[in-house]
Homo-oligomer: A and B are copies of this chain.
């Protein structure tokens, strides 16, 4: 079994040189007194140790053993319980949590690094933490003081965990069809009844209580409200008391993430507490959903990193085939790393993953600025974070599957059998494109809500910001700068042309969205490659040389995909929407 080594040096480079973490942190209340870069790096070293020494070892068995449901109780795979206990005690669950309620208060740009490590080490395990942190974020943002005091400390400490209960059998992408309902019991509580499906971590044995955030309709309303529904009721003293009729009816058999409990949950007159206002639950839930969307994006990113580590190591060990040296001599036997096609695959994984990490930390920074700065100063960052959330979710997870498949291919036949972990990575990666809103839904959100509904203003502002940064990039090949600027122009032109098209035929939006998101993703990865190259000599000459090789590969081979997707959009007319149903 191959090890996992967290890419600490890359993270250090991005935090210190590319995104000037310390300069930013000095502007943030609480953070400014509690964090400097040395401390941050010491924290990441600890996270690295935990992910490689504790989480990674339970990954392969968790896949084979899976979870099981016995008498209504979900049993997680061997080791999960002990590792989760240590993980919680290490403070990792409440890592970015509100310090007023005993969270660690760490910035998100550090949080995304820790998340990446956890997912690289074990997708299924990391999900339990992700749901808990997301639920806490939502409670912190929208719940009453009483609920926050009662629930947040135990969520941040990892003693309890969280779950997000939205989907029903007839209500997936389309939440209007939700049938779970709530009845008013008294001033502070409601009675919740309904069945939810695909509930990640809805039931398990890692924590003493599970806090469900449940979307339901209050009788006679067709709008959604959000409720906090604990698995076990919590008494005045804040301790768990009797059961609350929250039960897992079954667990799903899935392609991957076998260690993650995906439950059909039944709520039967369960007591729930309103979060936010009645009929305004969806907006509250979006706080959690946006958190989870970035988190699931990072799952994809993390899998790209793991795929690279597996495949590059194998490529250096596996001797197969012959090659010809640069001077024309026949080399009768060589490592497969010498073959051009193996390099093509490894470089694809590497350049997508490195740029993805830059975008992830950049997005983390926007979330931090939106959170810590005053409304005026943080406004632009908040808008950028909203724009980028569907991109990180969809583009990272699409590239995550692509990279996992390429990594598996490097192994040849050995990649298809269990032993190397390459095939598990593909199965685990696949879900990230589907859950938390399919990537088609993300693309629709991106194009329709974040771009068109905003009359392209945030898109233009974001691109304008990147453009102005480019002008300061020194020592970066000027052809790449031209390509990037032309890519930006084309992104805006195409968005304008889609805008005109959709004004005439609204249904055309969904036929454009995935290609547009892909075009945007490949283009801004180009920006981050240049930004990384620009800062790379601050590390060392060797580091710069390495980054220059990768940057060249990215611009020659992958950056042109941005333009290709825009070309597909240009070629698209409405005829595909007119094809009669019976032709399919």
A residues near B (Cβ < 8 Å) are 167, 170, 172-174, 177, 197-198, 252-256, 262, 312, 315-316, 319-326, 328, 335, 337-347, 350, 401, 405, 408-409, 412-413, 415-418, 423, 426-427, 430-431, 433-435, 438-440, 443-444, 505-514, 545-546, 549, 552-553, 556-557, 560-561, 564, 567-568, 571-579, 581, 583-584
With A324-B507, A560-B568, A581-B316 as given contacts, are A417 and B341 in contact (CB-CB < 8 Å)? no
Nearest chain-B residue to A433 (Cβ)? Answer: B409
Closest to A511 in B: B340
22 residue pairs of the A-B complex, CB under 8 angstroms, read: A172-B413, A174-B322, A198-B413, A253-B417, A254-B417, A262-B417, A316-B584, A326-B578, A328-B506, A339-B510, A340-B509, A340-B510, A343-B576, A343-B579, A345-B440, A346-B584, A409-B439, A415-B434, A553-B575, A553-B576, A557-B568, A557-B571
Q: Would B564 and A340 count as touching, CB distance under 8 A?
A: no
A253 surroundings in chain B (CB, below 8 A): 417-418
Say yes or no: A405 contacts B401, CB within 8 Å: yes
Cβ distance A509 to chain B, nearest Cβ, rounded Å: 7
A511 to B262, CA, bound (A): 42
Q: CA separation between A571 and B560, bound complex, in Å?
A: 10
Contact of A560 among B556, B564, B574 (CB under 8 A): B564
In the assembled complex, the Cα of A431 lies from the Cα of B343 at a distance in Å of: 21
User: Nearest chain B CB to A584's CB is how many angstroms away?
Assistant: 5
Determine the chain B residues whose CB is within 8 A of the CB of A417 once the complex forms.
252-255, 262
Q: Is the CB of B341 within 8 A of A440?
A: yes
B560-A575 in contact (CB<8A)? no
Given contacts A177-B320, A253-B418, A556-B572, 13 further A-B pairs with CB under 8 A are A172-B320, A173-B321, A173-B412, A341-B440, A341-B443, A341-B511, A347-B576, A350-B584, A412-B434, A415-B434, A549-B575, A556-B568, A564-B564
- Contact check, B552 vs A572: say whether CB atoms are below 8 A apart: no
**A546 with B583: CB separation less than 8 A:** yes
A253 to chain B, nearest CB (A): 4
Residues of B within 8 A of A508 (CB): 340
Which one of B323, B413, B418, B556 lies within 8 Å of A167 (CB-CB)?
B413
Given contacts A341-B514, A346-B584, A412-B172, contact A507 B323 (CB under 8 A): yes
Q: Give min CB distance, A26 to chain B, whole Å.
A: 35
Complex alpha-carbon distance, A169 and B571, angstroms: 48
Q: How far is the CA of A584 from the CA of B443 in the complex (A)?
A: 33
A337 touches B254 (CB 8 A): no
> Assuming A412-B434, A434-B412, is B584 touching A557 (CB within 8 A)?
no
Give the docked Cα–Cα distance between A41 and B307 (Å): 47
- Give the contacting residue for A507; candidates B320, B326, B346, B564; CB below 8 A: B326
Smallest CB–CB gap between A230 and chain B, Å? 25
| A507 lies within 8 A of B340 (CB) | yes
CA distance A319 to B177 in the complex (A): 10
Task: Tell me whether B416 and A438 are in contact (CB under 8 A).
Answer: no
Return chain B residues, CB-CB under 8 Å to A426.
255, 430
CB distance from A502 to the nearest CB of B (A): 10
When the two chains form the complex, which single residue of B319, B325, B577 contacts A326, counting CB atoms closer than 8 Å?
B577
